[in-house]
Structure 1
Amino acid sequence: MATSSLISSPSLLPTKPLTIHRQNQYHNTTTFRNRIIFKVLAAKLPAGVEVPKVEPNFKAPFLGFTRTAEIWNSRACMIGIIGVFIVELIINKGILQTIGVDVGKGLDIPL
């Protein structure tokens, strides 16, 4: 079978052992001093594929706000505002009057 020959092939090379450390050693008032070590095995890279020289530097976004997403959101907002201005110029009414909200008469509260 193809999978068994792939697993038993000599092209699988062991890499550096992966060590997992616990962040909080005093979890549930128990000290964890044992290290768990895994050996990760990977196949050879195909011909012509090069390993990157520098590992990518990724910073997690704050609450999902990334620079690229915020740039695109601001551009969409500017296009929307300009669209509202164009609609107001063509109809010659404000956008609230267009959707049926009375404006300019103040609050209709009896005193």
Structure 2
Amino acid sequence: MATISSINSSFVRHETFCRSMRKKGLLLDKRRSLRIQAAKAPAGLEMPKVEPKLTEPFLGFTKTAEIWNSRACMIGLIGTFIVELILHKGILQIIGVEVGKGLDLPL
């Protein structure tokens, strides 16, 4: 099984730039470290004594709910296509919206 390796062009340009800077003596260190620290809490803020134990919600945006929502959407979309195919009308014409004449809203 053959693998093809690809290199991002911006990475290649960066490496070429670093090499040329090292040759000129302008870039001494090959790697530099970056230290990141979190901001301090404001004065007077009380930290909770016990961390709450959260469980996955039974209702709401869970993985199972989203899978079932997407399945229901796919079934509804296919059902709409079948109804349009059988009745030879678009879904908007079926529910009573006139098509091709604009919305005729008073502005």
Indicate the TM-score class for this superposition, using the shorter chain for normalisation: 0.3 to 0.5
Q: TM-score, normalised by structure 2?
A: 0.43
The structure where strand makes up a greater share of residues is 1
Q: TM-score, normalised by structure 1?
A: 0.42
